[in-house]
Structures are given as C-alpha cells and as structure tokens.
Amino acid sequence: MDAPVIVVGAGPAGMTLAGELRLAGVAVVVLERLERRTGESRGLGFTARTLETFDQRGLLARFGDVETSTLGHFGGLPLDFGVLDGACQAAKTVPQSVTETHLEDWATGLGADIRRGHEVLSVHDDGDGVDVEVRGPDGRHTLRAAHLVGCDGGRSTVRKAAGFDFPGTAATMEMYLADIKGIELKPRMIGETLPGGMVMVGPLPGGTTRIVVCERGTPPRRREGPPSFDEVAAAWQRLTGEDISAAEPVWVSAFGDATRQVTEYRRGRVILAGDSAHIHLPAGGQGMNTGIQDSVNLGWKLAAVVRGTAPSSLLDTYHSERHAVGRRLLMNTRAQGLLFLSGAEVQPLRDSLRELMAYDDVARHLAAMVSGLEISYEVGGGSHPLLGRRMPPLQLTTGSGGLTSSTELLHPARGVLLDLADNPRLRRRAAPWSERVDVVTARPSAPPGAGGPDDTTTALLIRPDGYVAWAAPGSHHDLPMALERWFGAP
C-alpha cells in the first residue's frame, strides 16, 4: 500500500478528513487536481454546528475574531436563530478560501501528505485494496490504498469511476455569482424577488461586494469555464435596470439548481463525502458545512477500521447516519429554492410561511434544520435526552481540581467516558478500552447550559465526533456493549 487512505480533493471536506485521520495516527495522501488554491469563496462563514465542530478540535483560534450572528433566513424569509436553546450563533463573514487555508494548514501540520497537480484518471477496487491511476507532474502512475475517499466535488471523478448511483433532478436554470470591486450597490437581501428573477447584494471585507443573479427562464449550460463578467452584468441590467459593467470582477462563477444524492455513501473500499455525495442549490451555506461534518463523522470510524480496532461494519454507520442528513439537506434546499427563485405565483406561500414562522415552534424547527442542530443518530435507544445528540459545552472540574470542558476533552479526537459520579465500577468496566477511550472523572464547575445534562446524569460516553453514544441512567444497553459497538472489541 502507498497509504492506508487516499483522499481525492483538497477542499474543506477533504482537508477535514485528512486532519481527522492524522489525529488518529493514520497516514493519508490527498490528491488534488489543481496546482494551487483558486482563492474563490463560494461559501461564506459556517453554521453553528460547524462552529462547534471546529471548537472541539481547537481550531477556532486560527480564525481570529469571527463575527457571529443569530440572524439568518429560510428561503429568503428572515429567521432569528436566537429562538434555539444554547449555542446558536453562526460565523457570517469567513470566506471559504480562508476556511480551506486553515484546514489545510491544520492537516499538513499533523503530517498529511498533500499532492497538488495530481489528477485521478481511474479507480479499481479489487476487494483487498483500491488502485488509483493518477496523472501528475511526473506523468502517469498508480497508487494503491486500503481505502479511497472521494471528496472531489459535484462532478466527482471518484463517484463516476466507482459506479455510484447518483439519482435526482437535473438543473433547470443557470445562476451567476460574482465578487466585484469599484462600484457601490445598495444591499439587497436574498429573497428580494423582481419580475424577472432574484438578485442579492452583500458587502464582504476589503471593499468587495458579492452579487448573486438568478434570472428565471435561463436554461443551464454545460460550461468548460466560468462565464464572462459581461454575461453577469447583462443579466443584472435586465433584472434591475442598473449598469454594473464598469465594476472590477474579482471572480465570477455559474451554478445551477440540480439536486442529487448517491444511493450509498460507501461501496466496498470506496467512500464519498461532501459534494461528491450530494449536490443541491446553495441555500444558507449548508453544502460546505455538511461536507465538513460528513468528514468528522467518517474520520474516526475509518481510522478505527484501518488500525484494526473496529470491524469494517462500523463504516456502515457512516452511510446510515450521514445519508439521512444529506436527504434532509436536499429537501430543505429544494423548498428554499421554490421560495426565493419562483415568481409571484408563490407569493401566497411565502406570506403563509412568514405567518407560521412567527410561532416559536415553527421557527425553532426551521432554524434547527438549516443549522444542523437537529441532527440525532441512532445509538441504541434509551430515555436520556442527549442520546444520539451532540454533547453541549460543559465546564468541568476534575478530581485533581483542574479545570477543563467537554469541548476541550474532544481536541484529540478520541472517545471520552465522562464519569460524573466518581464511580470506580464504571471505570473498571471501561478499562479494557483505555487505549481508545479517555475516562475522565469530573463534576460540572458551572450549571449546564441549555440542553446539557441534568443533576441525575452520572456518566456519558461521547464519540470522537462529539455525539453521545451512551448515558447513565437512561441507555437501554450497558456500558461494555456501547463501548464495543463504537470502539471495537476490548
């Protein structure tokens, strides 16, 4: 094997996966077709769930002072995420290029092998490993890995070469996105519809303005490169009557409203994550965030299988957990597209939904859906409210008097058994898994935040991705059964 794992694609999903694998001590090679990052930023910021994910790996400090906000939208209709309990703020102004840079620096600092200018030509899974034919600076050659992960975007070569089914709906229209300088435009919120379509204007750092142009009735085109800015300016003028042709384009892109999801996230030794597994209309910046969370879910599981501490069946839970998340992602982005891309015929629907969103229960449901805070996995059943859900931040005092938190304990990307009752029997039962799970005896040093464990909770088993896999009291299974399910035989 040239590497236990080869990852194709050095975007946010690929870099996150590389970092997660390296935290677990697994060697990884990342193949990227482009020789350097483009600097383009389709996504801006990250959701509350991704912000939590970065925090649990100690990555937030790399981003400096991040502007956060509870304000968002659903289909262009204003939505205040402050209606949710607990941490609900999202980062709003971090360009995707900055996120990619920090993730790549993190992954390479951990020892990931990033090979730029390497294009994947073919993939062959023979059951014992995966051969990857690559064209690089030194010509064609073949690499072999135990597992191959495609994080290479919506037009994924890995997905096509490995024969994944990718059902869904084709694009019905083409839209433009451009970052421009040298011109002042009044802000326009997403959802501000015009007779011929929809436009959006938002300020970015450094005197740059982002515009989105959605002109109804424009058929999708198969492009070999980005559209010209003249095309964007012409569409803008048709919709708004404003001439922006004198602006300086920083970069220009086109996108569509195709919606597709693979039927399986794993075929043998080939796995997909991020846009390789699901494509959809950009709505609320969910695509990049879902891809990052795909990789955090996959990384520790794949590492355990590679190291031989868990059976390959653990990878089946990657599909069962993340395919359901992707399915709801496609559902809500299609619904949002109908709201902000359709014409006057859907105005009654917009007005009705606006009335419903005034109810807190409706607002909470929609906010949790698009922020990722609603996610819950099947972990064996039980009555404890945290089972299958993300562990909220909990400040802790250890037995030695030291201060820590549930978030800080997850920095190494290992399992954590939190003993909140100083229970020697609990610790003895967990001892056979000590090389894979950190047992921490502690007590809350501050009242738990909203959604945190109550005073009756005596223990919590937290997976490396931050989700609670077992709780006492409240789980249907005993602790050794839960430990074996998620961390392999003792």
Alpha helices in 342-387 (DSSP H): 347-356, 360-371
Can you give the pLDDT at residue 373? Answer: 87
d(CA 374, CA 376): 6
421-430: long-range pairs with CB below 8 Å, 24+: 421/458, 421/459, 423/458, 423/459, 426/458, 426/459, 426/472, 426/479, 429/479, 429/480, 430/479, 430/483
Task: Give residue 449's pLDDT.
Answer: 65
Averaged pLDDT of the chain = 93
For residues 99 and 87, give the distance between their C-alpha atoms in angstroms, rounded to a whole number: 21
Residue 358 has pLDDT above 70, yes or no: yes
Residue 383: pLDDT band (50, 70, 90) is very high
Tokens representing 476? 């249907």
Instruction: List, in sequence order, the alpha helices (H) in 78-220.
Output: 96-109, 157-161
pLDDT at 352 over 60: yes
* 441: β partners: 419
At residue 363, the pLDDT reads 94
Average pLDDT over residues 401-420: 95
Do residues 251 and 179 make contact, with C-beta atoms less than 8 angstroms apart? Answer: yes
Tokens in use for 383?
Answer: 């009555």
Structure-block tokens of residue 312: 């390959």
| 285: region left, alpha or beta (phi > 0 left; psi from -120 to 50 alpha) | left
* Confidence category of residue 88, pLDDT binned at 50, 70, 90: low
Tens of pLDDT, residues 50-79: 989 999 999 999 998 888 788 888 998 999
